[in-house]
Amino acid sequence: MRLIKIKLSNFRCFGPEEQTILIDNLTVFIGNNSAGKTAALSALNCMFSENSNDRLLHRSDFHLPKGKKPEEMEEQSLYVEAVFQFDELEPDGQGGEYAIPYFFQHLVVENPGEAPCLRIRLSATWEKSSTLEGSIDSQICYITCPESEEILEDHCVRAQRHDLDKIRVIYVPAVRDPSKQLKNASGSLMYQIMSSINWSAETKDHIKTKVQELNTQLEREKGVSIFGNSIAKQWKEYDSDTRYSTASLRFSGTDIETSIRNTEVVFEPTVTGKEYTIDQMGDGLRSLFYISLVDSVLDVEEQMRKEIKSDPENTSFNRKPPILTIVALEEPENHIAPHLLGKLVGNLRSIAGKPHAQAIITSHSPAILKRIEPENLRYFRLTIDSAVSKVRGITLPSEKTESEQYKYIKEAIRAYPELYFAKLVILGEGESEELILPKFWEVVHENVDLSGISIVPLGGRHVNHFWRLLHDLQIPFITLLDLDRERDGGGWGRIKYALTQLLQIGAERERLLDTTKGIMSDDDLERMHDGSVLDTENMQAWMNRLEEYHVFFSAPLDIDFLMLEHMGDQYKKTLGMREGPRITIDEDQVYIKDFETTGQCHPKYDERIETSIRQTLKEHGGNGETYTDEQKKLMIWYSYFFLNRGKPASHIAVLSSMSGNQLKASMPPVLSRLITVAEQMLKGETS
């Protein structure tokens, strides 16, 4: 038996429009604070918690629409639905052997030939009344119609609590006192197992006798006697109820039940030579131990199932374990050192891999998200306009038909998980953008991290998949691409690609492709890459159009060349006396920087320019005819700094040597425009 989806409507931050959350064996809820992650876990807890107090609904559980005050509401309704499937009905399924009999008459088949599922729905209504909380009526029912059909009254069959208890949610909130809450929770789990052991009558009698002997021996101590007599005497002065007339010290219980309640785990050996209890451990180890204890309980419950199946009359325990346990853990990274997070994720995978268990966690930790498959992530976002939570899965390319793209995007988003929490994502080509963009942002504003901006390198690949991912998650983004004019696939090819992918994510064709000759046809768009490389004016017009869609170009080539054009002297100043490109003239080695200073001409210098053009524009590239003479000369330096010497070192040397005012004055105009748009997007002035 597996939980496969949760559906919510009007529960806390979830609005009237139903939100469906797909659930895997291990599922991770991500998103910014107050996006609905806790609400989703609390909804499950309201249905399946072992604690009856956790199942109570309150006025605050009903969604309050934006702009509405509580006192303006007369009536509200909500529902939470959990949908389950049964592993044992799958060809390779495991577990759940005795799940179906309990729920058989309530199973639903959506379509012919499909496996049946179980729908359990919590429905509740709130009405204004004379009490502060108002009047709340709730019920949990089996829904006996397919999800595609309207739910009628006859489709709702009230669920009995003893059946619902076969599904267990263990919920650990994010705000917790590890010393208290985790110890109590672990004690509860241990008590469940210990109290269900089939203790023999002989063992019970023996323990009772020994405990009584222990108490008798302790009571003989003079100091104990004095303290006990004082307690008894003073109590009589306070209360004369004959039911509780005698108060006395008791050092241990009188039976096995009381002893079980006092059971705790101790840890040894220690450097002090004494035992440690759970409340003496650090917060991080305490949290890890709790997860480990859940794992242990689930292991024992598997043994219970095996015994029940093989020899039901002779079992070690006197209860049946839950059919399904859902571990709902908020922000497991709390209190845990980064180097232990890998171990924690391993624990959670172990739990989720058991046949009768699943794990749902929430997290803000990139260290955890890097270790989670993107397919297991569910992204929560609070809409700005209506202040309701929306939930989406992570959009990846098809693993079957786009295997290369799938692997690249999957690894890229695992490498940069902070993009999920960003207010704005800036997509760049590579490591140069990662260095340069934050520096220019900082001279205008504060640190990019404080601004909520994530800069993610594309590596020049698969921009369409990143656009689809961010568009589906509704995370604002800006893209800075290399124009690569006269390189193979560059220029018109890059513009065509950007236009095509914008159309794929829903850009309005009539606006995007509007020209002086009317709306560009599909055929003309398909042939755009064949456009004349010399038509730089028209190319610039299309780049201007794309900036309206937050797609910018480092032109004419890439951001490295762009920086060299605007800050070339600063790059040259970072070189030592014997550093830099050289040419041989009359058997003498002449440094280009010295040669250019003199303004001389020489065939060897011209040859070096031509060689650098070929190196810069690469194989199958052009001859540099769209570049000015000054730009062609810069290609010598481009080859030296960025093709041979290394991009990071060159950029770091320049950026660290310049003041904020110098950087601001030298900023390439396209980067200035990009930063302006970023400012507007962060303020919500443009979308």
Quick check: 497 pLDDT over 50?
yes
pLDDT single digits (tens) 407-448: 888 888 888 888 898 999 999 998 999 999 999 999 988 778
Q: Burial level of 481, CB count in 10 A (0-12/13-18/19+)?
A: buried
Which 3 state secondary structure label does DSSP give 284?
helix
Cα atoms in the 13 Å half-sphere on the side-chain side of 113: 0
Quick check: 178 pLDDT over 50?
no
pLDDT single digits (tens) 644-654: 887 889 999 99
CA 174 to chain CA centroid, Å, is 15
E strand spans, 394-459:
424-428, 453-457
pLDDT single digits (tens) 322-368: 999 999 999 988 877 777 788 888 888 988 988 899 999 999 988 89
Q: Burial level of 110, CB count in 10 A (0-12/13-18/19+)?
A: middle
pLDDT, the chain, mean = 87
- Residues 392-406 have a mean pLDDT of 87
Q: Residues 137, 122: contact at Cβ < 8 Å?
A: no
Looking up tokens 């929306």 gives 390
Quick check: 179 pLDDT over 50?
no
Which 3 state secondary structure label does DSSP give 200?
coil
- Which pLDDT does position 93 carry in this prediction? 57
Q: Which of 94, 673, 8, 28 is nearest to 360 (CA)?
A: 28
Q: Where are the alpha helices (DSSP H) in 479-558?
A: 492-504, 509-512, 522-526, 536-547
Angstrom distance (rounded) from CA 5 to CA 358: 12
- Which pLDDT does position 286 carry in this prediction? 73
CA 54 to chain CA centroid, Å, is 26
Quick check: 95 pLDDT over 60?
no
Six token digits for residue 417:
């998980």
Q: Residues 501, 467: contact at Cβ < 8 Å?
A: yes
Q: Residues of 132-171 as b/e, b for ≥16 C-beta within 10 angstroms?
A: eebebebebbbbbeeeeeebeeebbeebeeeebebbbbbb
Q: 585 or 481, which is more confident?
A: 481
pLDDT > 70: what percent of the chain?
Answer: 88
- Which pLDDT does position 654 carry in this prediction? 95
Angstrom distance (rounded) from CA 23 to CA 468: 22
pLDDT single digits (tens) 29-58: 999 888 999 999 999 999 999 889 999 999
Q: 428 or 104, which is more confident?
A: 428
> How many other CB atoms are there within 10 angstroms of residue 61's CB atom?
21
Q: Which of 608, 624, 638 is nearest to 486 (CA)?
A: 624
Peptide bond into 668 cis (omega under 30): no
Q: Which of 347, 340, 341, 387 is nearest to 363 (CA)?
A: 341
Angstrom distance (rounded) from CA 642 to CA 635: 10
> Percentage helix, strand, coil, to 5, in the chain?
45, 20, 35
- Which pLDDT does position 218 carry in this prediction? 72
- Residues 488-494 have a mean pLDDT of 95
CA dihedral (523, 526, 530, 532) positive or negative: positive
List own/partner pairs for 62-69 with CB under 8 A and 24 or more apart: 62/10, 62/11, 62/12, 62/124, 62/126, 63/10, 63/11, 63/12, 63/13, 63/14, 63/15, 63/16, 63/388, 65/15, 65/386, 66/386, 66/387, 66/388
pLDDT single digits (tens) 6-36: 999 999 999 999 999 999 999 999 998 889 9
Angstrom distance (rounded) from CA 483 to CA 542: 12
Angstrom distance (rounded) from CA 665 to CA 397: 42
CA distances, 621 to each of 243, 493, 535 (Å): 98, 13, 17
pLDDT single digits (tens) 266-307: 676 666 666 777 677 777 777 777 777 788 888 888 888 888
